[in-house]
Amino acid sequence: MTGILDIHVFGPLKKQFDPVASLSEETIVKMPFLINETVKQLLIRLNLSKSNFGECFVNHTIVKNYNDIIPKDARVAVFSQGMLLIDGGLYLKKWKD
Protein backbone atom coordinates (compact mmCIF):
# COMPACT_ATOMS: atom_id res chain seq x y z
CA MET A 1 0.00 0.00 0.00
CA THR A 2 1.39 3.38 -0.99
CA GLY A 3 -1.43 5.86 -0.62
CA ILE A 4 -5.14 6.41 -0.93
CA LEU A 5 -7.34 5.84 -3.95
CA ASP A 6 -10.40 8.07 -4.41
CA ILE A 7 -13.40 6.34 -5.97
CA HIS A 8 -16.13 8.72 -7.17
CA VAL A 9 -19.55 7.05 -6.94
CA PHE A 10 -22.55 8.24 -8.95
CA GLY A 11 -26.28 7.59 -8.87
CA PRO A 12 -28.25 5.45 -6.42
CA LEU A 13 -25.14 3.31 -5.86
CA LYS A 14 -24.02 6.07 -3.48
CA LYS A 15 -26.44 4.76 -0.85
CA GLN A 16 -24.38 1.56 -0.55
CA PHE A 17 -21.46 3.63 0.74
CA ASP A 18 -23.30 6.48 2.46
CA PRO A 19 -26.97 5.85 3.37
CA VAL A 20 -27.65 9.58 3.78
CA ALA A 21 -25.89 10.64 0.56
CA SER A 22 -27.79 13.04 -1.65
CA LEU A 23 -27.88 12.21 -5.35
CA SER A 24 -26.88 15.81 -6.07
CA GLU A 25 -23.73 15.75 -3.93
CA GLU A 26 -20.38 14.23 -4.81
CA THR A 27 -19.63 10.96 -3.03
CA ILE A 28 -16.02 9.86 -2.78
CA VAL A 29 -15.02 6.56 -1.21
CA LYS A 30 -11.43 6.44 0.00
CA MET A 31 -9.62 3.09 -0.18
CA PRO A 32 -5.99 2.13 0.32
CA PHE A 33 -4.16 2.06 -3.02
CA LEU A 34 -2.79 -1.42 -3.73
CA ILE A 35 0.09 -1.86 -6.16
CA ASN A 36 -0.80 -4.00 -9.20
CA GLU A 37 -4.51 -4.13 -8.31
CA THR A 38 -6.80 -4.66 -11.28
CA VAL A 39 -10.08 -2.85 -11.81
CA LYS A 40 -11.90 -6.12 -11.20
CA GLN A 41 -10.07 -6.66 -7.89
CA LEU A 42 -10.95 -3.13 -6.77
CA LEU A 43 -14.63 -3.64 -7.64
CA ILE A 44 -14.64 -6.88 -5.65
CA ARG A 45 -12.99 -5.09 -2.74
CA LEU A 46 -15.78 -2.49 -2.96
CA ASN A 47 -18.35 -5.33 -2.82
CA LEU A 48 -19.61 -4.54 -6.31
CA SER A 49 -20.72 -7.10 -8.86
CA LYS A 50 -22.16 -6.88 -12.36
CA SER A 51 -25.64 -6.72 -10.86
CA ASN A 52 -25.13 -3.60 -8.76
CA PHE A 53 -23.02 -1.24 -10.84
CA GLY A 54 -23.15 -0.04 -14.41
CA GLU A 55 -19.91 1.44 -15.73
CA CYS A 56 -16.45 2.18 -14.41
CA PHE A 57 -13.97 4.80 -15.58
CA VAL A 58 -10.27 5.16 -14.77
CA ASN A 59 -8.76 8.56 -15.46
CA HIS A 60 -11.88 9.62 -17.40
CA THR A 61 -11.65 6.64 -19.77
CA ILE A 62 -14.27 3.91 -19.81
CA VAL A 63 -12.92 0.57 -18.63
CA LYS A 64 -13.08 -2.02 -21.40
CA ASN A 65 -10.81 -4.60 -19.78
CA TYR A 66 -11.42 -5.19 -16.07
CA ASN A 67 -8.03 -6.91 -15.81
CA ASP A 68 -6.24 -3.59 -16.39
CA ILE A 69 -4.01 -2.43 -13.53
CA ILE A 70 -5.09 0.76 -11.76
CA PRO A 71 -2.23 3.29 -11.90
CA LYS A 72 -1.11 5.23 -8.85
CA ASP A 73 -3.03 8.49 -8.33
CA ALA A 74 -5.76 7.38 -10.74
CA ARG A 75 -9.25 8.85 -10.65
CA VAL A 76 -11.78 6.03 -10.51
CA ALA A 77 -15.49 6.61 -11.13
CA VAL A 78 -18.25 4.04 -10.71
CA PHE A 79 -21.77 4.56 -12.03
CA SER A 80 -24.97 2.88 -10.91
CA GLN A 81 -26.60 0.23 -13.08
CA GLY A 82 -28.94 1.69 -15.68
CA MET A 83 -27.43 5.19 -15.76
CA LEU A 84 -27.11 6.60 -19.28
CA LEU A 85 -23.70 7.91 -20.17
CA ILE A 86 -23.19 11.24 -21.91
CA ASP A 87 -22.31 9.41 -25.12
CA GLY A 88 -25.63 7.56 -24.99
CA GLY A 89 -24.14 4.41 -23.53
CA LEU A 90 -22.76 3.20 -26.83
CA TYR A 91 -19.84 1.44 -25.16
CA LEU A 92 -21.65 -0.48 -22.44
CA LYS A 93 -20.17 -3.90 -21.82
CA LYS A 94 -20.70 -6.72 -19.37
CA TRP A 95 -18.40 -7.67 -16.51
CA LYS A 96 -18.33 -11.30 -15.54
CA ASP A 97 -17.88 -12.23 -11.86
Give strand pairing partners of 5.
31
Separate counts of helices (H) and strands (E) for the chain: 2, 5
Q: How many CB atoms lie within 10 A of CB 9?
A: 24
pLDDT in tens, the chain (97 residues): 578 999 999 888 888 888 888 877 889 999 999 999 999 999 999 998 877 888 899 999 999 999 999 999 999 999 887 765 555 544 444 444 4
| Nearest in space to 73 (alpha carbons), one of 58, 83, 52, 88 | 58
Give strand pairing partners of 3.
none
This prediction has a pTM of 0.80
Instruction: Look at residue 92 in the predicted model and tell me its pLDDT.
Output: 43
Instruction: Look at residue 97 in the predicted model and tell me its pLDDT.
Output: 43
Domains and CATH numbers, the chain: 4-76 (3.10.20)
How far CA 67 is from CA of 12, 14, 33, 70, 95, in Å, comes to 25, 24, 16, 9, 10
